[in-house]
Homo-oligomer: A and B are copies of this chain.
Amino acid sequence: MSATESAAAVKYVTETPPEEIARVKEWINSEEYKEKNFARQALVINPAHGCQPLGAEMVAHGFEGSLPFTHGSQGCASYYRSTLNRHFREPAPAVSDSMTEDGAVFGGQNNLHEALENAVALYKPKMISIFTSCMPEVIGDDLTAFIKNAKQKGCVPEGLPVPYANTPSFNGSHVHGYDAMLLSILQTLTEGKQIEGRCTGKLNLIAGCDFNTGNYREYKRILEAFGIPCTVLGDISETFDSPCDGTYRMYAGGTKLEDAADSINGKATITLGPYATSKTFGWIKDNYSGKHASMPMPVGIEKTDAFLMKIAELFGKPVPASLKAERGRAVDAMTDAHQYIHGKKFAVYGDPDYLIAYVTFLLEMGAKPYHILCSKGSKKLEKEIQALLDASLYGKDCKIYMNKDLWHMRSLVVTDPVDAMIGDTHGKFAARDAGIPLFRFGFPIFDRVNLHRYPLVGYQGIINMITFICNKFIDIKDETCEDRFFEMMR
């Protein structure tokens, strides 16, 4: 009896029966499951966004000699760095002040000060850009005071700019951290630099929380074609696309600090990432000389037109013939290729500014952005996208999902199928389960090469998107069609 009892108490290792696995496999593709999935209140599964400090670090890399500095636990810094390493396949030199348990008790001031000293000595930055991860945010470190004290103590050389931003990870996403850090950098660098009557004659351009180096280069190329001098604020294009020539440059690029400082006297300032720069741009409007314009990413013909015309208007210069010709070539590519994408349904997800870009492009091509998902969205974003949908025949039946994640997206694409997805690498599991291609236009891209080198903005960006999308659709046709439909021409 006691033997039986003890035997009963033993729990054996079980194997889930194959038919049970098969059942659940089918079930997670069902409408019923989708409903349960969408009923989630607390659990987030496969979100499509990182946390604030990541965006802060990214933009901190976009200034000359700027050393990104995480005030917080060192593990955070490693995560941000490796995310940027993987996306760009480039170095992302940044430090942290390695706060540990004692920080919870004493605060992080000692770590911060010691770290500043070491970082200055070892890495000789021209600027140290500080942002916070969770720990100091939760315990309430007073960064303003800490940094003031650091200066007084001489932890940083006289005159070394030390912008800092609170970038709590439990609020917003990397996009908001970008905004906060950029704002602080600009406030720090421009402080006292506004000169009555001075005008640099330049355009200040802010790309938004954009991880595509090709886009930055494309903006510069466009401005060069106009012959308009330009300061790209937070210019990561050289930082994250530096030459491999035998020399490692720790600070490979970035906006010159002098130019950034003088940007306050600019002739005009444009942001092309309104959702990523709401704070920064609000401050700029109140403080920068010259004119200001906030515009969506110039993706697709109409938004690129608007961007160029705005520049033309601000600088009293016509759009150069070379860009007009490029426009014509982009339209040519669109008319030539429309039949490969027209009417195709897409599921798109990503950061707000990217998302608007995808929707815009697809509608211009006559494709349907059928499932539109943002894991960190807003009513404003939803309204703006809905307006785009409403203005197009191809926006009919397309639906927006705000603050949903990629596990929701999976339910969408398996129950209400589409032809392809657009987003970042994290969507690849949903795309595989749905048996459709994923076009990696977002951030991060961990599993393809060079894609961040191809601009998606401007007229050239349109050609790139068409090339990637339409040729992939043709690839699929060629690879999957019966022999009798395998043809020379497509």
Contacts and interface: CB of A to CB of B under 8 A. Distances in A.
B489 A447 contact: yes
A244 B328 contact: yes
A340 B448 CA distance: 10
A279 to B, nearest CB: 32
A284 B89 CA distance: 46
A333 B449 contact: yes
B242 A478 contact: no
Interface string A430-464: 00100001000000001111110110000000010
Contact of A446 (B89, B329, B336, B488): B488
B453 A333 contact: yes
Interface stretch (A145-153, A226-234, A465-473): A465-473
Contacts of A432: 478, 486
B463 A450 contact: yes
Given A340-B449, A447-B478, A467-B451, A331 B245 contact: yes
Interface in A293-333: 324-329, 331-333
Given A245-B327, A331-B243, A467 B489 contact: no
A304 to B, nearest CB: 14
B329 A426 contact: no
A447 B474 contact: yes
Total identical chains? 2
A86 interface: yes
A2 interface: no
A335 B447 contact: no
A134 to B, nearest CB: 24
A450 B478 contact: no
Contacts of A467: 449-451, 453-454
B450 A86 contact: no
B243 A325 contact: yes
A241 B329 contact: yes
Given A241-B329, A331-B243, A488-B425, A471 B450 contact: yes
A208 to B, nearest CB: 23
A428 interface: yes
Contacts of A437: 475
A478 B438 CA distance: 11
Contacts of A242: 328-329, 332
Given A447-B487, A489-B446, A244 B335 contact: yes
A490 interface: yes
Nearest to A336: B89
Contact of A474 (B426, B448, B470, B488): B448
A402 interface: no
A325 B86 CA distance: 22
Contacts of A466: 449-450
A28 interface: no
Given A332-B242, A451-B467, A470-B449, A488 B426 contact: yes
Contacts of A199: none
Contacts of A381: none
A14 B252 CA distance: 74
A138 to B, nearest CB: 29
B327 A243 contact: yes
A328 B245 contact: yes
A250 interface: no
A337 interface: yes
A454 B332 CA distance: 15
A461 to B, nearest CB: 13
A462 to B, nearest CB: 10
Contacts of A324: 243, 245
A123 B37 CA distance: 66
Contacts of A333: 449-450, 453
A260 B239 CA distance: 42
B244 A449 contact: no
Given A86-B489, A325-B243, A331-B243, A448 B428 contact: no
B425 A332 contact: no
8 closest A-B pairs by CB: A243-B328, A244-B332, A447-B490, A245-B328, A450-B467, A89-B336, A244-B331, A446-B489
7 contacts: A89-B336, A243-B331, A428-B478, A447-B474, A448-B474, A449-B467, A453-B463
Given A90-B332, A428-B488, A432-B486, 14 more contacts: A241-B329, A244-B328, A244-B331, A244-B332, A244-B334, A333-B450, A425-B489, A446-B490, A447-B487, A448-B490, A449-B466, A450-B467, A450-B471, A454-B467
